[in-house]
Amino acid sequence: MSSADTLGPGQQPLARFVAEEPQAPRGSILFMAALVGAAEASLIGITNAAAKAVYLGTPPGTLAAAYLVLLSILMTALSYALVQSVDAIERGLDRVKLRIADKVRCSDLRFIEVSGSSGAYRLLAQDSSIIAQGAGPLVLIAHQSVVVLFAMLYVAWLSPPTLLTTLLVLGLAVPVIVRHAERTRADLKAAAADDDQVFEALSGMLAGFKELKLNRPERDALLTAIERLARRAHARKLAVGMRQALDMIFATGLTYVVLFAAVFVVATLVPQASETVFSVSVVLLLVTRGLLGAANAMPMIAKVEAAIADLYRLEDRLDTAAAHAEGPTAAAPRTGFTGIEARGLCFRYLDADGAVLFEVGPFDLTLSPGELLFIVGGNGSGKSTLLKLLTGLYRPDRGELRLDGRTLTNADYPGYRSLFTSVFTDFHLFERLYGIDDLDPERVNHWLRLLEMDRKTQYGESGFTNLDLSTGQKKRLAFIAAVLKDRPICVFDELAADQDPQFRRRFYEEILPSLRAEGRTLVCVSHDDRWFHVADRVLTMRDGRIDAVAKG
């Protein structure tokens, strides 16, 4: 359940985070923060009383003892509140990050493909760091708020007219501060979006480096665009910084306006108030110090709130993307099948507005246990889309996928996908092999020797010892990782590409037949027509459709 399920939509991100995420003794933390405020306000009261006693020639021994006791209470309570708050923030962050990770794990592949380059996941670590840094300022504001509350109660006891005057001044100032805070929050959000665009442009420069290197006008135009984006981001951040500086100046001026009103205005208009003007001035200095402390913390709090909003927006996007309800992902994996059949499978690629860009299919296909199927075709013919439909990574917009004579439902897909292991062209190679129970490193090293990779890397307790490898060598490691999962169906998308001729021959003439002899079903995308005879069937694709099926 996301936080949006339990809290109203109008609640601010920071309040939402504090209310729901930390699994910590919030009551104890708030009590200690209140105790700190009460102790600090009491210390001011004792200081005033002691100063008066000294002035009258009375020894302040009892007051000194009380002062030291309250100081000990203040330090102990403040330490507890700070330590527990940092721990609570970190625990809350862990909850959000693990929840996001779990939702990413259960997301639809197409959503990940479309949104993966947006920079949202890059910001996850950055936002988490900002939120963690905000624990101290949050406690500071809570502490200062309590100090101000108790100090104002003390002022009310000393001089009610001074309290009314102070509240009047603050009442006029608070709306200005709130409006500035709202504008700052909006500008921080816009500045973060500008930073994302700069990052995307820089990523594009790296991804398209070869093209840019060959085309100076294109390279210069991209640099101009990046400069324009960077200037816009700088201007917005400068505006935020200037507003925060003005807020600091405003808060500083406000403190002295409050003191001016208490000392010069109230004491003049209300003669009785002049008797307590010294004590009131000391207390108001405490109040103004609290206001300044809160003002100093507000820029960091604004960043924390923007960072929390980013995390919740990412989580909301993942919730919105969960359009297809699946069965429990912890369902027992399938160990075999009698037949897979695709009937009229179609898949549509959509743009950001939901309009159809193009459609592939319909696909009609059967797959039998122990079969070696080659899929061939030019770039853009639909090979990868067919593989993703066949493996259950994409859901068809039309048609049906049947397993053992039964049409798959949404609840069947997790179990169905457990039949497959794969190496796609855009594979990711993890440092260690996850999800394989009781994996013997020697078994991995046996495959490394078999694929002539044992001199490049080894596998131990911490995973592969070296991943600084060529693309072809990484494909061999990905192949090992796929085979060791012991799934009934292996899908290899152009795995023999980027390999030397000798290994390519071994792959088609020795490795694939040995896997088939073990009872594996093999689906291979290939352009190597020299070895088509190895396959049971060769499926040719053209223009998003199956053009022909022939025996190998």
Domain ranges of the chain: 3-321, 340-551
Nearest Cα to 279, choosing from 49, 1, 508? 49
Q: Output helix, strand, coil percentages for the chain, rounded to the nearest 5.
A: 65, 10, 25
The pLDDT score that the predictor gives to residue 259 is 76
The pLDDT score that the predictor gives to residue 122 is 60
49-63, 136-150, 157-171, 313-327: which range is least confident on average?
A: 313-327
* Nearest-angstrom CA–CA distance, 438 and 248: 60
Once rounded to an integer, what is the mean pLDDT over residues 362-368? 90
89-93, 276-280, 483-487: which range is least confident on average?
A: 276-280
Q: Which of 103-112, 280-289, 476-485 has the highest mean pLDDT?
A: 476-485
- CB contact at 8 A, 363 and 345: yes
**Local structure of 423: helix, strand or coil:** strand
Confidence of residue 7 (pLDDT cuts 50, 70, 90): very low
Number of neighbouring beta carbons within 10 Å of residue 185: 20
| CATH, domain range 3-321 | 1.20.1560.10
The pLDDT score that the predictor gives to residue 119 is 54
Domains 3-321 and 340-551 share a fold: no
* Nearest-angstrom CA–CA distance, 333 and 54: 82
Nearest Cα to 524, choosing from 394, 393, 383, 413? 383
**Percentage of the chain modeled with pLDDT above 70:** 88
Left if phi > 0, otherwise alpha if psi is -120 to 50, otherwise beta: which for 498? left
How does pLDDT run across 8-26, given as a tens digit for each residue? Answer: 444 577 777 877 777 767 7
Number of neighbouring beta carbons within 10 Å of residue 50: 19
48-62, 464-478, 535-549: which range is least confident on average?
A: 48-62
Of 5 and 253, which is predicted with more confidence? 253
Q: Which of 65-79, 80-94, 126-140, 219-233 has the highest mean pLDDT?
A: 65-79
Of 331 and 516, which is predicted with more confidence? 516
The pLDDT score that the predictor gives to residue 103 is 76
Res. 552: pLDDT tops 80:
no
- Average pLDDT over the chain, rounded to whole? 79
Res. 398: pLDDT tops 80:
yes
Once rounded to an integer, what is the mean pLDDT over residues 501-519? 90
Once rounded to an integer, what is the mean pLDDT over residues 358-375? 90
Rounded to 5 degrees, what angle do the CA atoms 256, 261, 266 make? Answer: 155
What CATH topology corresponds to 340-551?
Rossmann fold (3.40.50)
Q: Which of 176-185, 332-341, 385-394 has the highest mean pLDDT?
A: 385-394
Once rounded to an integer, what is the mean pLDDT over residues 530-547? 88
How does pLDDT run across 217-274, given as a tens digit for each residue? Answer: 777 787 888 888 888 888 888 887 787 778 778 877 877 787 787 777 776 777 666 6
Lookup result for tokens 């093999």:
522
216-260 vs 160-207: helix axis angle to the nearest 10? 170
Lookup result for tokens 């090992």:
480
The pLDDT score that the predictor gives to residue 322 is 62
How does pLDDT run across 109-136, given as a tens digit for each residue? Answer: 777 776 654 455 566 667 777 777 776 7
57-71, 296-310, 533-547: which range is least confident on average?
A: 296-310
* Nearest-angstrom CA–CA distance, 482 and 476: 10
The pLDDT score that the predictor gives to residue 521 is 93
Lookup result for tokens 């060769």:
538
Q: Which of 120-129, 289-298, 438-447 has the highest mean pLDDT?
A: 438-447
The pLDDT score that the predictor gives to residue 325 is 46
Structure tokens at 140: 């500071």
The pLDDT score that the predictor gives to residue 513 is 92
Nearest Cα to 142, choosing from 80, 187, 93? 80
Once rounded to an integer, what is the mean pLDDT over residues 142-171? 78
- The residues with which 525 forms a beta bridge, in sequence order, are 375, 493
- CB contact at 8 A, 283 and 154: yes
What pTM was estimated for this model as a whole? 0.62
